[in-house]
A = this chain, B = another copy of it.
Amino acid sequence: MNDKKLTRRNILKTRTQQDIVKAAVAIITRQGMPALTMDRVALEAGVAKGTLYIHFKNKKEIFDAAMGMIVEPLFANLAKAIDGDYTPLQKLGNFSRTCIEFFDRNHDFFRVIFFDRNRIQEERKRYHNLYKKFVRRVADIVDEGVREGVFQSLDSGKVAAIFMESNMAVVMQRLDRHDEGSIDDDVKLVLGVIMHGIAAKGAKRLNN
């Protein structure tokens, strides 16, 4: 019993500590990350500013705890999704489902992170709008291909987004690896995957 109490404490720490982290999450969710100031956290958590420093060494630790509270479950679930005794294809499926479910569950939070409803950083809004415009135009291309019978009939907006993000995936891999290899090869890679997927050539199709 005492044990349980202690364990609980260890996991959730103090009520106040929880309140603070929750406050941080709420602020990020409602106002965006740049709004995360110690004053606001204290106000939202209903404690004095000094109290924050009893429970956390500094702002970074509060931020980390807030991110952890949101994001850690994702990574935990993701790990579970691909660690079991599954075929590679099943693993990809699990991964995909876990991702989508997770962001669905936390949509308020991530809508802010990604599209930031917040005041200050609305600079991105403009680029977000431009981005959306291009998604639409790529979707038009997809629709065009569907009409011409060269593409399958799928949700063209989502397909367009997949295509664009696939390019970004390759771009970021190049950036991160400091890889300045053949652009042609990477274009072929993206196009190949988008057009024909990664399934082995003789493999039978997934049943949808």
Contacts and interface: CB of A to CB of B under 8 A. Distances in A.
B149 A200 contact: yes
Contacts of A144: 88
Contacts of A161: 169-170, 172-173
What's the dominant secondary structure at chain A's contact region?
helix
A198 to B, nearest CB: 5
Interface stretch (A9-17, A19-27, A40-48, A189-197): A189-197
A140 to B, nearest CB: 9
29 contacts: A64-B123, A64-B126, A71-B127, A75-B134, A87-B148, A87-B150, A92-B141, A96-B190, A97-B183, A99-B171, A100-B170, A103-B171, A103-B175, A104-B171, A107-B175, A107-B180, A114-B175, A115-B176, A151-B198, A151-B199, A158-B170, A158-B173, A159-B193, A161-B170, A162-B166, A165-B169, A166-B166, A166-B169, A194-B198
